[in-house]
Amino acid sequence: VSEPKVILKADWSQIFRGETVTLSCQIQGGGGTQWTYEWRQNWSNIPPTSSEYRIDKVKDDHSGDYSCQGRSGFLLTQWSDAFRLSVSRKPQPVLSVSPSWLSPGASVTLSCEVKPPSAGWRFFWYKAKKYGSYSYELLPGSSNGTQQNSYIIHGQKHTAGYVCRAGRGESAFYSDYSEPSFVWSAAFPPAASLRVNPDRVQLFRSESVSLSCEGNSTEWRVKRFPETGHLSDFNCSTWGTMTGSSCIIKPFWSDGGVFWCESGSGEFSNAVNITVQDKDDGIILQSPVHPVTEGDPVTLSCRTKQQKLLSDVSFYHNNKLLQNDGREELKISAVSKSDEGFYSCEHSGQKSPQSWMSVQGEEASNI
């Protein structure tokens, strides 16, 4: 009779808190011998007498070295070599969205990654319906999970938030939900709109700014997704004064990020990506706050805090030099989808922050 061996009955080696685990004691040889089994964890005897040891919802104290031996009458095998069971913290997947800024009606790809990587996962996809109390709605076709770690949404029109989680095993073990990820749209949905005054996406920190939620609900709240990437409520009383549905901030001490309005029922407004210029003697790019319709003219300029129009300016599109011929403004007579992207300007060695210009089709402008 050969020495017994402890085997983990799973298609993956990494075990997480809350999973159900089965260890098997396998003895080769012995013909038709009827074995009873003895188990040890960290050299202390544990109860099972069968060939399998099942642990429901493993915890940290289940980590350790497991060994087994077989007994049949006077026949006794050696103890097996120790099998090390390591229990890791329940994983939280990371959800990414591409593209992050939406052309209305375009397709959006969600990608869900479990870290550290491990085998056997199926992926579940959700639309975030309401923040604060976090309500999620399963997306079509994902009630049983998908083998692929990506999911495509067709015909997305407006700002939306998504989450994912992963599950595996017969005991239906699930990971934590991912943090919400967003696809942003600067287009106005029917329900509401966020208005920024002054009507710019680049602001000087010392400026006075008004953020207003306009729509068919009295429960609108301004939300912010900062550059640090962690969703937060934007508490107007922390930064300024709430007047009706408008938040007046003077000066604009908040960090930049994507701002939008959200109702208590989970409706979204358009999103505005506000970038803050910390230096009062710096420059900003004057660019459209809302999507530009294909075929329309667009003018971009570079200005100081006093809104002085600067000349001899270099303009950049997606970090590539686009115009550097001494003109004051960048004029596009009829924009197309290829003009969509990030823009910035440079003057006398100073460079503005960059801002996204969205381009939509004529049919989207009527949505």
Domains defined along the chain, listed by start: 3-88 (2.60.40.10), 94-185 (2.60.40.10), 189-278 (2.60.40.10), 281-366 (2.60.40.10)
Please report the pLDDT score of residue 24 as a whole number: 95
Taking the C-alpha atoms of residue 67 and residue 25, their distance in angstroms, rounded to an integer, is 8
pLDDT of residue 30 exceeding 70, the answer is no
This prediction has a pTM of: 0.73
CB 123 within 8 A of CB 110: no
User: What CA–CA distance (Å, rounded) separates 19 from 341?
Assistant: 45
Higher confidence at residue 211 or residue 39?
A: 39
Q: What is the mean pLDDT of residues 301-311?
A: 90
DSSP assignment of 147-162 equals SSSEEEEEEE-S-EEE
Confidence of residue 320 (pLDDT cuts 50, 70, 90): very high
The reported pLDDT for the residue numbered 367 is 47
Give the mean pLDDT of 255-278: 80
The answer, yes or no, to whether residue 151 has pLDDT greater than 80, is yes
Average pLDDT over residues 287-293: 86
- For residues 215 and 201, what is the distance between their CA atoms, to the nearest angstrom? 21
Q: How confident is the model at residue 313 (pLDDT cuts 50, 70, 90)?
A: very high
28 vs 301, residue with greater confidence: 301
**Among candidate residues 38, 56, 223, the one with its CA nearest the CA of residue 128:** 223
Angle CA 336–340–344, to nearest 5: 130
